[in-house]
A and B are shown apart, each in its own frame.
Chain A
Amino acid sequence: MSEILDRARAQVLTDGVGLDEAQILEVLRSPDDDLPELLQLAHDVRMKWCGPEVEVEGIVSLKTGGCPEDCHFCSQSGLFASPVRSVWLDIPSLVEAAKQTAATGATEFCIVAAVRGPDKRLMDQMREGVKAIRAEVDIQVAASLGMLSQEQVDDLVEMGVHRYNHNLETCQSHFPNVVTTHTWEERWGTLKMVRESGMEVCCGGILGLGESLAQRAEFAAQLAQLDPHEVPMNFLNPRPGTPLGDQPVVEGKDALRAIAAFRLAMPRTILRFAGGREITLGDLGTRDGLLGGINAVIVGNYLTTLGRPATADLELLQDLKMPVKALSATI
């Protein structure tokens, strides 16, 4: 057994103090033989500091494709030869998607747009869409619209958006290799405004963007410093036509080690399974992740790709005796 796990047990499980960057790297470098014990420890930490409930969320793309940014993993950039075309979702379809999401038992519905930041048209669409959803559907509305001005932050608060997603995507040292049209620091600036507004901060990223294990540890430590309410963990699903289209997918055991390491870095956060888990981990890995630190899931489809049927994840949660977090508990 690795000495790092003994230290993590005392520091994180007993005292609730997350691992630092050097300790996270030790966990990421721990041998395969220690993986079962590592996952059990991460699960114990999640159960002690977060409880057994799992937060369920659905996401939908309000504005797809045609993005002016060059995030090298993204099929929605207008700068790459991706087959994804630009399309807008109308308000009745947005409300219907929220209803379908609520019907799964989800408490969160996140509206996403592929933009650098919202313009007036998008903010008007958001205002109309959020109002319609709040009038017809019993669900919390979150948003992910790129970089914001202070005025836009204030507008989203006024609309009733309770959580804002803005992923840092990867660590500060690797970010310039992944995105060149804006900086990591610009993203951090939006996150700071969101936090100060009172909206909950949702910030995570994608593993498998060519980062080293040390950079993966750096990323977890930077997220821990941000202390977001929620951290969505995506695994790269290489998209045709993007600069990272030929990047290998993260190996399953490395993905599980990363999940556990992120949990040990952030014992109290909502750690959400997001995109790419199907190809990186498959069905068994999804189960292992839920027993290794994860306490939230995106159910159903993603923005441009498809996920497992919501019923498959909900049945798995039932098998694992993990209750779905109720709406009343989130308000």
Chain B
Amino acid sequence: MFCDRCGEPAAQGDHRGCDAARALEPPRYCPDCRRRMKVQVVPTGWTATCVEHGTRTS
């Protein structure tokens, strides 16, 4: 599993900064494969799509 903000392994390193930042950011990396996702932000939400693992929504 990978951090969906920085793309580094979620179990390695300190991701508390990423967790805090994610309150005001959509995910950018697929947590399953660390591919960069296609992210669309709209006024009331977001969608993030990984070519391999599908679409996540807010």
A318 to B6, CA, bound (A): 38
Chain A proximity mask over B7-48: 1 for CB below 8 Å, otherwise 0: 100000000000000011110110000001111111111100
* A67 at the B interface (CB under 8 A): no
Q: How many inter-chain contacts with C-beta < 8 Å in the A-B complex?
A: 69
Q: Which residues of A contact B36 (CB under 8 A)?
A: 83, 85
Q: Are B6 and A100 in contact (CB under 8 A)?
A: no
Decide yes or no whether A130 CB sits under 8 A from chain B: no
Query: Are A87 and B24 in contact, with the CB atoms below 8 A?
Result: no
* A299 B39 Cβ-Cβ under 8 A: no
A326 interfacial by beta-carbon distance below 8 Å: no
User: Which residue of the partner chain, among A61, A85, A96, A278, contacts B41 with CB atoms under 8 Å?
Assistant: A61
When chains A and B are docked, how far (Å) is the Cα of A255 from the Cα of B40?
Answer: 29
Cα A292 to Cα B46 in complex, Å, equals 32
Residue in B closest to A109 when the chains form the complex, CB atoms: B43
Q: How long is the Cα–Cα vector from A301 to B37 in the complex, in angstroms? A: 18
Known: A83-B29, A84-B28, A240-B6. A304 touches B41 (CB 8 A): yes
Q: In chain B, what residue has the closest Cβ to A58?
A: B43
Contact assessment for B6 and A93 in the assembled complex, using a CB-CB cutoff below 8 Å? no
Per the CB 8 Å criterion, the residue count for chain B at the interface is 19
Is A301 a contact of B41 with CB atoms below 8 Å?
A: yes
**Closest residue of A by beta carbon distance from B45:** A301
Q: Which residues of B contact A83 (CB under 8 A)?
A: 7, 28-29, 36
A112 to chain B, nearest CB (A): 11
B-side contacts of A101, CB under 8 Å: 43
On whether the beta carbons of B39 and A305 are closer than 8 Å, the reply is: no
Is there a chain B Cβ closer than 8 Å to A97's Cβ?
yes
- Distance between Cα atoms of A87 and B44 in the complex (Å): 18
Measured between alpha carbons, how far is A104 from B26 in the docked complex, in Å? 21
Inter-chain CA distance A87–B50, complex, in Å, is 12
A316 within 8 A of B: no
B25, A89: Cβ atoms under 8 Å?
A: no
Q: Beyond A240-B6, A306-B26, is A93–B44 a contact (Cβ under 8 Å)?
A: no
Residues 270 to 313 of chain A near chain B (Cβ within 8 Å): 278-279, 299-307, 310
Task: Name which residue of chain B comes closest to A82, CB basis.
Answer: B28
Interfacial chain A residues near B39, Cβ < 8 Å: 64, 84-85, 87, 304
Additional 14 contacts, C-beta under 8 A, given A93-B42, A305-B41, A306-B46: A64-B39, A64-B40, A83-B7, A97-B42, A100-B42, A100-B43, A279-B24, A300-B43, A301-B42, A305-B24, A305-B26, A306-B25, A307-B24, A310-B43
Nearest 6 A-B pairs (CB), nearest first?
A300-B43, A83-B28, A58-B43, A97-B42, A87-B38, A100-B44
